[in-house]
Amino acid sequence: MVEPPQQVPHPAPIRVFLLDDHEVVRRGLHDLIDAEPDMRVVGEAGTSEQALARAPALRPDVAILDIRLPDSDGITVCRELRSRDAELACLMLTSFDDDDALLDAIMAGASGYVLKQIRGSDLVSAVRTVASGQSMLDPATTARLMTSLRGPQGDADASADGRLTALTDREREILTLIGDGLTNRQIGKQLYLSEKTVKNGISRLLAKLGVERRVQAAVIAAQNPQPPGPRGGSGSAG
């Protein structure tokens, strides 16, 4: 007897929530996202109050949040929503290229930050990227932000952030290299460690710093530069 072919389950569509105070923008985003077979808009709001009241019950995978709102801002909404659901990926949408807003968005736990001038296909790709657990931050903007944080106006005293005192020497080395923009593989080569060891070390590092995303650690590294020292030979591996 021939066995019937097994049905391959289709992955559930990415559930998306929209927050923008302009109805025309929301309609455009709604149509754009619903046209994708692997995405579905589950709700929308025009104010932060509406978003905080509606979004948690709808349990979206991704929230696209306008930064500037009439009654608050999308960064506050991001922080509030993620305090209720740490798995939620927030994609910040703005008309302005604003370094302060980018920094605030990163520290609020946002997964991505894109300008409204973005092409529709690129926005759809950004939603897929953050839904998969990755970050979607414009590299040029992020690099400029890191440079400004390292400027002379920044506080060069590493003791300014007490969280750094809990780090081992090796973790401080890894944090510095994260701040320099190195990948896990590049960090491994620099410190003569396997990529898996680096990955595990970064997980412990993030936990000690009390952050969830690598880019948040990069911001801390930029704000608290470490004195140069020998790399690769000294320091605890724990």
| pLDDT tens digits along 111-138 | 888 888 889 999 999 999 999 988 776 5
Please name the CATH architecture into which domain 150-223 falls. Answer: Orthogonal Bundle (1.10)
CA distances from 169 to 32, 145, 173 (A): 48, 26, 6
- Could you tell me which residues come within 8 angstroms of residue 41 by beta carbon, excluding any fewer than 6 positions away? 16, 17, 18, 29, 30, 33, 34
- Is the domain spanning 14-138 CATH 3.40.50.2300? The answer is yes
- Could you tell me which residues come within 8 angstroms of residue 211 by beta carbon, excluding any fewer than 6 positions away? 217, 220
- Going by pLDDT thresholds of 50, 70 and 90, the confidence category of residue 104 is confident
Domains 14-138 and 150-223 equal at CATH topology level: no
Measuring CA to CA, which residue among 66, 61, 9 is closest to residue 39? Answer: 61
User: Which residues is 58 bridged to in the sheet?
Assistant: none
State the DSSP string of 26-60: HHHHHHHHHTSTTEEEEEEESSHHHHHHHHHHH--
User: Residue 100: pLDDT above 70?
Assistant: yes
Count of CB atoms situated within 10 Å of the CB of 106:
23
Q: How far apart are CA 164 and CA 39, in angstroms?
A: 40
| pLDDT tens digits along 62-89 | 999 999 888 888 999 998 999 899 899 9
Residue that wins the pLDDT comparison between 228 and 99:
99
pLDDT of residue 66: 94
Q: Read off the pLDDT of each residue in 2-6 and give the average, rounded to a whole number.
A: 59
pLDDT of residue 106: 80
The structural domains of the chain, with segments of one domain joined by +, span 14-138, 150-223
| pLDDT tens digits along 193-235 | 998 899 899 989 989 988 887 778 888 887 777 665 544 444 4
Q: Read off the pLDDT of each residue in 4-29 and give the average, rounded to a whole number.
A: 84
